[in-house]
């Protein structure tokens, strides 16, 4: 079974631009979560989508948005990029949306550099 895939793996953008990152979950998984990882702030939850609906949202500004398609693939968008948005963006998928025992499978991440 294929794992979680993220594209692109690396990205360089300029301040003020916008960027879209893509995540394809494991087949059959309906929950997709996004995390930002930086050396200063560590791993922080961005948002979770389940069956095309945003179910949880972290404490990030409105410049960060996402969506999920009917095939469970998800995209996240960051508008008006800032230098501080440089990070590793990790996507995770889970088999079921409720319950505590469902592990999240992470993708390899997209490393975004903003110059």
Residues of the shown chain interacting with other proteins in the complex, contacts defined by CB under 8 A: 31, 33, 35, 42-45, 48, 50, 55-56, 58, 88, 90, 92, 94, 97-109, 111
Of residues 110 and 114, the one with the C-beta less far from other proteins:
110
Tokens read off for 78: 């960051």
Task: Quote the least distance from Cβ 16 to other proteins, whole Å.
Answer: 26
CA distance 76 to 43: 16
Of residues 55 and 67, the one with the C-beta less far from other proteins:
55
Task: Quote the least distance from Cβ 99 to other proteins, whole Å.
Answer: 6
The string of DSSP codes covering 9-21 is SEEEE-TT--EEE
Task: Quote the least distance from Cβ 80 to other proteins, whole Å.
Answer: 25
Task: Quote the least distance from Cβ 71 to other proteins, whole Å.
Answer: 19
In this structure, are residues 56 and 47 in contact, taking their beta carbons and an 8 Å threshold?
A: yes
User: 6 exposed, middle or buried (CB, 10 Å; 0-12, 13-18, 19+)?
Assistant: buried
């Amino acid at each position: 079974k294929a794992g979680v895939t993220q594209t692109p793996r690396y990205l360089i953008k300029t301040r003020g631009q916008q960027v879209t990152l893509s995540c394809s979950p494991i087949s059959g998984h309906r929950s997709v979560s996004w995390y930002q990882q930086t050396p200063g702030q560590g791993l922080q939850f961005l948002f979770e989508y389940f069956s095309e609906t945003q179910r949880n949202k972290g404490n990030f500004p409105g410049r960060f948005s996402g969506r999920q398609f009917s095939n469970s693939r998800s995209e996240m968008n960051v508008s008006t990029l800032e230098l501080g948005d440089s990070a590793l963006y990790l996507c995770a998928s889970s088999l079921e949306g409720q319950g505590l025992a469902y592990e999240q499978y992470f993708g390899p991440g997209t490393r975004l550099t903003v110059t």
